[in-house]
């Protein structure tokens, strides 16, 4: 059972984590939710469309203008508090690698710390333990935050992913993070070229077999764009195809931009797998 905030998710329940970027320069929406009202409207829409988790980020993942910890706190903490007030039952995640930010957002009501840079600040897991928050343990290939990989090489990319993420997960539990609130993430694109990310997807079952809940962040990423030779705004179909494969292989949490479309894909896979009844079953019964 995956436990995050006030919510519990059964092992075969496929969960959506909706992206809400509090940045003026996000790669996908170019700052559409930088200001409070559009961001709150995005949260309301995402919850209505089936997201159980809202992932709030104050710094874009890619290179760009430097954002201090103080500025990241300014962009996220008040917003976390307002989302907590308006949506008491939603799971609030914050995408950060800094322990100072983790401390501030947990004080404001965050339930999960999404460490997309693979433990570069080891104190972040300590913060999660202190507040009883969930933690996402990600493989980033040793890449420094906000840098792009250059000629990344692995003898076996999945072996490296497992070594890193399982190590981070076990350390988190030893520190006091609830075991049922820890997720592992292969880190598509982070410290990887396109072939690495495709292999990580193809072998996702090896992560699922460890017993840790697997989170995938696939939405409109470069590996999808390069595979299909599509710009950022034309990667939805490729993302949804990758989502379906990941769901069939057993991933549980999906960090996405397109919530409604992803919900349909996940529900369809769940029904094919026998984990969900059809919404309507009339054909051949009249």
Catalytic residues: 221, 255
Tokens of 158: 């999945």
196: closest CA among 229, 161, 165, 168? Answer: 161
Backbone angles phi, psi at 214, to 5 degrees: -105, 130
Enter the DSSP assignment of 180.
G
Q: What are the angstrom distances between the C-alpha of 64 and each of 23, 26, 147, 148?
A: 11, 10, 9, 11
Tokens of 122: 């080891």
Task: Tell me the angle at which helices 69-86 and 99-108 cross, rounded to the nearest 10 degrees.
Answer: 20
134: closest CA among 105, 160, 156? Answer: 105
Tokens of 247: 């769901």
Mapped onto helix, strand or coil, the DSSP state of residue 20 is strand
Contact predicate 12/2, CB 8 Å: no
Query: Where are the alpha helices (H) located in the chain, listed in sequence order?
Result: 36-48, 69-86, 99-108, 123-131, 157-175, 194-202, 204-208, 222-228, 236-249, 259-272
Mapped onto helix, strand or coil, the DSSP state of residue 7 is strand
Relative to beta strand 91-95, strand 53-57 is: parallel
Q: How far apart are CA 45 and CA 184, in angstroms?
A: 27
């Amino acid at each position: 059972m995956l436990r995050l905030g006030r919510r519990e998710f059964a092992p075969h329940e496929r969960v959506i984590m909706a992206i809400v970027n509090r940045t003026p320069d996000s790669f996908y929406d170019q700052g559409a939710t930088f200001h409070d009202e559009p961001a709150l409207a995005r949260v309301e829409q995402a919850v209505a469309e089936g997201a159980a988790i809202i992932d709030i980020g104050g710094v874009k993942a890619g290179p760009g203008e430097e954002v201090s910890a103080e500025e990241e706190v300014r962009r996220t903490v008040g917003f976390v508090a307002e989302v907590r007030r308006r949506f008491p039952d939603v799971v609030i995640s914050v995408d950060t690698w800094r322990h100072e930010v983790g401390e501030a957002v947990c004080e404001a009501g965050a339930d999960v710390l999404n460490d997309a840079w693979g433990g570069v600040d080891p104190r972040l897991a300590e913060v999660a333990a202190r507040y009883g928050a969930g933690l996402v343990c990600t493989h980033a290939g040793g890449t420094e935050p906000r840098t792009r990989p250059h000629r990344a090489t692995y003898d076996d990319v999945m072996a490296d992913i497992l070594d890193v993420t399982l190590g981070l997960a076990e350390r988190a539990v030893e520190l006091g993070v609830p075991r049922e609130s820890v997720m592992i993430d292969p880190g598509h694109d982070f410290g990887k070229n396109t072939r690495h990310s495709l292999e990580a997807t193809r072998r996702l079952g090896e992560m699922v077999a460890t017993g840790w809940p697997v989170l995938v962040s696939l939405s409109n990423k470069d590996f999808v764009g390069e595979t299909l030779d599509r710009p950022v705004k034309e990667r939805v179909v490729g993302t949804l195809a990758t989502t379906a494969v990941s769901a069939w292989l057993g991933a549980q949490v999906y960090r996405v931009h397109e919530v409604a479309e992803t919900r349909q894909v996940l529900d369809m896979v769940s029904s094919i797998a026998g984990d969900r009844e059809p919404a309507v079953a009339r054909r051949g019964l009249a």
